């Protein structure tokens, strides 16, 4: 008598459960911060899931009980949560070298050009060069001051919109987000273009993916989850759309550069990156993918809606 198919399914399921139980029951020699009890396999995922779209509230409630530094297990990921300004400074400034390793996020290699993105690239020559560019070229006092007119113009638009909405209900959060998004977009690309609205929508979608909870991120050893969940297909389609827009913008700036139509006093982010790419002041050679990655992370970081 041949075994029924469901017997095989049950056997695989039991084997998987036993594997994870054995893996997570191994004694740990680490001296970890205090934290809530962990369930087998999923760890503390259930406690964040109960908070719905506001997991930071779950962190707040747990911090009240376990202190400003606590340990959580999110699937296979051992996670330390810091929730005080003093400890955050210790982690991000005093002992930053100890916390340079980037977390595994399945969508990163495709969505933000893998290690070319400064936010997710490992510590090394490339990361130091990108940090140098950001510090000296993009975030210098002179560059910030040169973009004051952009911020003022967008702020005036916001004030005018609020004035015209007198007597009616408005969503100030959305308006402020639009202000920040528009300011960053103009600082990055120099001006609006026909793809502005589509690009902003795609960036929002990218941030939702990178900031969301996905089973493929929580259980990185189970690689099929990235495909079975549909995340891989979604990420590839999104990246293709973003890359097309970025490619058009970079090519347009390269054309202006070749024709000598760029004023040094009015350089935008893309102009700066293309200029640095052609210089030999860096230890690593920048390619167009690096330029696109820095552009994308700059828009992402400044347009995130809290």
Over the stretch 145-194, which tens digit does the pLDDT of each residue have?
888 888 898 899 999 999 998 888 988 888 888 888 888 888 888 777 77
Predicted pLDDT at 304: 52
Beta bridge partners of 81: 70
Distance, CA of 213 to chain centre: 13
Assign a CATH topology to domain 114-303.
Cytochrome p450 (1.10.630)
Who contacts 140 (Cβ-Cβ below 8 Å, separation ≥6)?
none
Q: What is the rounded CA–CA span in Å between residue 217 and residue 268?
A: 35
The dihedral formed by the CA atoms of 272, 274, 275 and 279, expressed in degrees to the nearest 10: 130
Q: For 62-95, what is each residue's pLDDT tens digit?
A: 999 999 999 999 999 999 999 999 999 998 888 8
Looking at per-residue pLDDT, the higher value among 46 and 195 belongs to 46
Which residues make up the CATH 1.10.630.10 domain(s) of the chain?
114-303
Q: Among candidates 253, 40, 265, 273, which has minimal Cα distance to 137?
A: 273
């Amino acid at each position: 008598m041949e075994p029924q198919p469901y017997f095989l399914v049950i056997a695989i399921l039991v084997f998987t459960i036993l594997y994870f139980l054995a893996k997570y029951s191994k004694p740990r020699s680490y001296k970890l911060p205090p934290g809530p009890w962990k369930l087998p396999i999923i760890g503390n995922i259930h406690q964040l899931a109960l908070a719905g779209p506001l997991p930071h509230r779950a962190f707040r409630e747990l911090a009240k009980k376990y202190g400003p530094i606590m340990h959580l297990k999110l699937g296979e990921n051992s996670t330390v949560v810091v929730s005080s300004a003093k400890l955050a400074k210790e982690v991000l400034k005093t002992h930053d070298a100890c916390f340079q390793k980037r977390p595994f996020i399945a969508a990163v290699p495709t969505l933000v050009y893998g290690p070319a993105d400064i936010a997710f690239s490992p510590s090394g020559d490339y990361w130091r060069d990108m940090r140098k560019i950001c510090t000296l070229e993009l975030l210098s006092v002179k560059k910030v001051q040169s973009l004051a007119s952009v911020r003022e113009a967008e702020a005036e638009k916001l004030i005018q919109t609020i004035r015209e909405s007198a007597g009616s209900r408005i969503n100030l959060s959305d308006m402020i987000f639009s202000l920040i998004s528009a300011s960053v977009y103009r600082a990055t690309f120099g001006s609006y273009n026909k793809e502005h609205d589509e690009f902003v929508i795609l960036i929002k979608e990218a941030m939702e993916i990178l900031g969301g909870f996905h089973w493929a991120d929580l259980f990185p050893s189970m690689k099929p989850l990235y495909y079975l969940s549909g995340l891989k297909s979604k990420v590839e389609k999104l990246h293709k759309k973003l890359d097309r827009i970025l490619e058009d913008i970079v090519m347009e700036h390269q054309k202006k550069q070749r024709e000598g139509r760029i004023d040094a006093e009015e350089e935008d982010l893309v102009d700066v990156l293309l200029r640095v790419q052609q210089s030999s002041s860096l230890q690593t050679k920048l390619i167009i993918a690096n330029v696109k990655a820095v552009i994308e992370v700059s828009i992402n970081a400044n347009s995130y809606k809290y």
